[in-house]
Structure 1
Amino acid sequence: MDTIWPETLGKASGPKYKIVSDTIRKAIDQGALETGAKLPPVRELAYRLSITPGTVARAYTVLTEEGVLQAEVGRGTFVADPVKPTPDDVWARQLDLTGGKPGNMVSLFSPRLPDVGQVSALREALVKVAETTDPHDFLNYPTRSAYRATRQAAVDWLSDLPLGSLTDRDLVLTHGGQNGLLVTLQTILYGPNPVVLVEDLSYAGFRRAADLLRAQVVGVEMDEQGIIPESLEMMARRTRAQVVCTSPEVHNPTGAHTPLARRKEIVDVARRLDLQIVEDDCYRVGEARAPSYRALAPERGWHVSSISKTLTPALRVGFAIAPQDKGPDLRRTAEHGYFGLAQPLKELVFVLLTDPRTRQLARDVQAVIEEYVRVAVNMLGAFDLVWDAKVPFVWLHLPPGWRAAAFTRAAEAEGVQIRSADEFALRDGRAPHAVRIAINGQVPISVFEDAMQRLRALLDNPPEQISV
């Protein structure tokens, strides 16, 4: 490792973490670091390079996200085998998400919905699609008009939301919420160097969609109510950004809510600077508490939603909604990108959304989530915990003695997987000492409670020495 570092590291301009990550990546590409090679601990490498441990930790995190490195709890960080499956693939095969033994790994990484009848409903819907769909629909490309009934079903499904005037012509069906974000940004962004604004802590999918479109992502300062309007105006003027992406109903990962007064201030900024507003509403599972940006600013408010947190993420079905008069632009982007949902999937969505039992299924899912949230609050509520009974995760500010990365490693060693705040920060941004704990409704509530007890034991016993 000592031979790969440039002599000018200490004097080099630009983010140090990027220099470290680029150097490691180059050494791997050139064979100086082979598959399986163990990298030095964070503090040791930081000492060697005369930089902060946080800089090294962020470089390791970037390379781990890319699959270049692999972190193993209790063993260290290694050069990953490029042909091996990703950690997500490994977890999907190895984690026992339904077992009741206390020693089993419990994934609280992302929300997992309980089965309150969706599986049976989907089986019935699949049979209905197979038996009633016109045979020609299984053989031919769908026409534009073929999606109208399903789009209208989606409009009806969203009818309880304050979205402003909405028709099926304003909506396109997407392959989940992430695809909805991508299609929306494809429609909005233009020019050689587009800029997308996001909260300093934000859903990583904003960044990934912008990266695919070669757009620069810039963070905006936030507080307990979300985006700070003055910071939004300053960054928008400085960068000439075209769009701001935000989650005002349920901020991911902090669980914050942006009240109506703050939303109106943000709309005023957006109008002064001709800024488009993309609202990601995928994590809301209860009623909306304030009008959407599309209702407040119908000429520039875009809305993205899905059924992933209310019914099932397995279908990968979402909805992207354009501002008034922008529906044709959004449809054109979707048609040029993927033409449309597959005919059988389109029919399945129609059957599911028009079934009068489906709304009750969504309410039943929400009721189970509320039970699990209560367990988390009862066990962790003595700490600085942000929660809402209708949100499928809680946000925990760690007590003194714990850093986010160290706590997530300690939690995984105890058999509980959670997300560090670092995963939601921009690569050149700062993250608080906090973690997101998702609700897993697919494990018995006793197993979930046991996982909360393990986290509580860690919180009650912080390490004597702070580690990164």
Structure 2
Amino acid sequence: MDTIWSAPLKDVKGPKYELVAEKIRGQVASGVLQPGAKLPPVRELAYRLGITPGTVSRAYGLLTDEGILRGEVGRGTFVAEPHPDDPICPDHDMDPDARAWQALEIDVIAHGSGGSDGDDVNLFSPHLPSVGQARLIRDLLGQVAQDPPSGLMHYPSRIGSLPAREAVVRWLGDAPIGAVTPEDIVLTNGGQNAISLILQAMLRGRRPVVLVEELAYPGFRRAAELLRAEVIPVAMDGDGLIPEAVEAAARGCDAQVLCTSPEIHNPTLIYTPLHRRKALAEVARRLDLQIIEDDCYQIRRAETPSYRMIAPERTWYVTSISKSLTPALRVGFAVAPEQGAAPLRRAAEYGFFGLATPLTDLTALLLAHPKIRRLGDEMANVVGRYVHSAVNILGRYDLRWRPEAAFLWLMLPKGWRAGAFCRAAEARGVQLRSAEDFAPRSVNTPHAVRFAVNAGIPLSQFEDALRRLADLLDNPPERIEV
């Protein structure tokens, strides 16, 4: 690499990351850089070129997504060998429109994930690594554009969406959610839309009540409040919702729905064991509560029976591809209880007529593709490596983590309040979420923060952000905010 860069780029006009990427791309195409050649570390190359590390990270990320480079945790970035099982190989002579598409994709990813030209890092929401799914989606989009199975001149319909719903059934085939047919599934615009549709389908009366965990995914509250429902938080312990607390919260009000995330609780990562799930299902039966089970954060398939398996007559299961493939497509799935899909279908059809037909066609091709399982496993492995790194750096603090989850939960040491810590972290270029973001005002929140895995940036940049957090944890402010 020493012979490639003849002059700094700091005074060059235009997107510098594209220039860096094009230079490396040309050297690989010409054979100057052979497969297996190691590239300089991000900061070293940035210093050499007079640009920021974020710019080099974007260039490396672009080339990794194209399949020209590959990253190895703890070792660095290398020129990639063509994948023997991957028919979608990088094309160094691709047309300008295709290359512009890739550059735009990386540009959006980088800005959305905190991988901009500065050193700011966004750990607010999980950002998935691209291990080949972006190239697969581009290829399938091309197929849909050339010959859309549902056509381009018709409203969405149940018949037109059947191939996609059948693909969802196969995709969920190893999930412990009980018997599912295509008729049980409604395609939605992401998991949040699925929750809203379910509440629209089931809530009744002038002032319905929705029960949520005292710390919970904020989308539960927002969807309920949009429908003018009252939201009541329910106490939890180390196994999740407390059955007696659910009964107490439901007493004297028109409680109709219990919302929960038993497998990977957002934000605390609590796992609800089977005996507790069975106890809560019995409470729901006694009180005639419907259950919304949010499983959107699952990267690898669960093994414990879900509420839909334990209480199939009253459980609505929600998942999406946002945390397992990509959040960009906004494709989610609402799975109705047994014999309960009709009101859910009406809510979708009356609300937005159904998912756009090109997106439905893409979903059918994507979830049925033979590569999709391998890509999902590879992505989960990358997320696991980022989690492992986070534990190595912050493990001496009160940290909760799971290798299959794309976020971590950190209880702050004495001297730190969650809000103050988030502000201090942002001042150092790291964005986090406070525990207060997950609770209504009536709940006394712990002094804790949630930070997400950002695998859209190099591992070294992610680790640098965590070291900044570690430095803050070691140096609480002298004045404690109250």
Name the counterpart of 1:120. 135
For structure 2, the residue ranges without an aligned partner over 5 or more in a row are 1-107
AA partner of residue 226 (structure 1): G
For residues 398-448 of structure 1, the C-alpha deviation after alignment (integer angstroms, 9 at most, x for no partner) is 010101001001111111000000000112221100000100000100000
2:319 match: secondary structure? strand
How far does residue 132 in structure 1 lie from its aligned partner after superposition? 2.2
1:307 aligns with 2:321: yes
What are the equivalent positions in structure 2 for 1:64-75 lying under 5 Å apart?
Answer: none
The 2-side partners of 1:287 and 1:139 are apart by 37
The 1-side partners of 2:326 and 2:112 are apart by 20
How far does residue 340 in structure 1 lie from its aligned partner after superposition? 0.7
Which of 422, 428, 441 is the equivalent residue of 2:455? 441
The 1-side partners of 2:424 and 2:351 are apart by 43
What are the equivalent positions in structure 2 for 1:199-238 lying under 5 Å apart?
Answer: 199-238=213-252
Asked if 2 retains the 8 angstrom alpha-carbon contact of 1:395 and 1:436, the reply is yes
Name the counterpart of 1:351. 365
1:437 match: secondary structure? strand
The 2-side partners of 1:92 and 1:345 are apart by 20
Asked if 2 retains the 8 angstrom alpha-carbon contact of 1:95 and 1:105, the reply is no
Which of 114, 119, 122 is the equivalent residue of 1:97? 114
Query: Normalised by the size of structure 1, how large is the TM-score?
Result: 0.78
AA partner of residue 97 (structure 1): G
The 2-side partners of 1:317 and 1:218 are apart by 29
How far does residue 94 in structure 1 lie from its aligned partner after superposition? 6.2
How many equivalent pairs are there? 375
1:197 aligns with 2:211: yes
The 2-side partners of 1:115 and 1:294 are apart by 32
AA partner of residue 355 (structure 1): H
State the 4+ residue runs in structure 1 displaced beyond 2 angstroms.
91-99
The 1-side partners of 2:442 and 2:454 are apart by 31
How far does residue 313 in structure 1 lie from its aligned partner after superposition? 0.4
The 2-side partners of 1:249 and 1:288 are apart by 7
1:138 aligns with 2:138: no
The 1-side partners of 2:112 and 2:296 are apart by 26
Name the counterpart of 1:25. none
The 2-side partners of 1:197 and 1:364 are apart by 37
For residues 286-331 of structure 1, the C-alpha deviation after alignment (integer angstroms, 9 at most, x for no partner) is 1213111010001101100000000000000000011011012211
Name the counterpart of 1:177. 191
The 1-side partners of 2:110 and 2:282 are apart by 49
For residues 58-78 of structure 1, the C-alpha deviation after alignment (integer angstroms, 9 at most, x for no partner) is xxxxxxxxxxxxxxxxxxxxx
Asked if 1 retains the 8 angstrom alpha-carbon contact of 2:175 and 2:303, the reply is no
For residues 213-261 of structure 1, the C-alpha deviation after alignment (integer angstroms, 9 at most, x for no partner) is 1101000001121101100011112323000000000000001110000
1:154 match: secondary structure? helix
Asked if 1 retains the 8 angstrom alpha-carbon contact of 2:109 and 2:456, the reply is no
1:428 aligns with 2:445: no
RMSD: 1.6
1:157 aligns with 2:171: yes
For residues 68-105 of structure 1, the C-alpha deviation after alignment (integer angstroms, 9 at most, x for no partner) is xxxxxxxxxxxxxxxxxxxxxxx999677335x8x611
The 1-side partners of 2:201 and 2:473 are apart by 45
Distance 1:432 1:248, change over 3 A: same
For residues 247-283 of structure 1, the C-alpha deviation after alignment (integer angstroms, 9 at most, x for no partner) is 0000000011100000001001000110111000001
Which of 390, 397, 412 is the equivalent residue of 1:383? 397
The 1-side partners of 2:298 and 2:157 are apart by 32
AA partner of residue 151 (structure 2): D
1:436 match: secondary structure? strand
AA partner of residue 315 (structure 1): L
For structure 1, the residue ranges without an aligned partner over 5 or more in a row are 1-90
The 1-side partners of 2:451 and 2:391 are apart by 11
The 2-side partners of 1:238 and 1:265 are apart by 21
Distance 1:336 1:403, change over 3 A: same
1:137 match: secondary structure? coil
AA partner of residue 454 (structure 1): R
Distance 1:439 1:96, change over 3 A: closer
The 1-side partners of 2:172 and 2:411 are apart by 34
The 1-side partners of 2:369 and 2:479 are apart by 57
Name the counterpart of 2:308. 294
Which of 123, 128, 131 is the equivalent residue of 1:108? 123
Asked if 2 retains the 8 angstrom alpha-carbon contact of 1:202 and 1:252, the reply is yes
The 1-side partners of 2:115 and 2:214 are apart by 35
Asked if 1 retains the 8 angstrom alpha-carbon contact of 2:202 and 2:343, the reply is no
The 1-side partners of 2:316 and 2:272 are apart by 16
AA partner of residue 261 (structure 1): H
The 2-side partners of 1:260 and 1:145 are apart by 37
2:255 match: secondary structure? coil
How far does residue 370 in structure 1 lie from its aligned partner after superposition? 0.3
The 1-side partners of 2:354 and 2:375 are apart by 27
How far does residue 451 in structure 1 lie from its aligned partner after superposition? 0.5
What are the equivalent positions in structure 2 for 1:29-48 lying under 5 Å apart?
Answer: none
What are the equivalent positions in structure 2 for 1:389-404 lying under 5 Å apart?
Answer: 389-404=403-418
Asked if 1 retains the 8 angstrom alpha-carbon contact of 2:257 and 2:290, the reply is yes
Which of 326, 342, 349 is the equivalent residue of 1:328? 342
For residues 18-66 of structure 1, the C-alpha deviation after alignment (integer angstroms, 9 at most, x for no partner) is xxxxxxxxxxxxxxxxxxxxxxxxxxxxxxxxxxxxxxxxxxxxxxxxx
Query: Normalised by the size of structure 2, how large is the TM-score?
Result: 0.76
AA partner of residue 441 (structure 1): A
How far does residue 143 in structure 1 lie from its aligned partner after superposition? 2.9
Distance 1:126 1:182, change over 3 A: same
How far does residue 149 in structure 1 lie from its aligned partner after superposition? 1.3
Q: Report % sequence identity.
A: 55
The 2-side partners of 1:326 and 1:449 are apart by 47
Distance 1:119 1:397, change over 3 A: same
AA partner of residue 202 (structure 1): A
AA partner of residue 113 (structure 1): L
1:337 aligns with 2:351: yes
The 2-side partners of 1:236 and 1:397 are apart by 30
Distance 1:95 1:186, change over 3 A: closer
1:138 match: secondary structure? coil
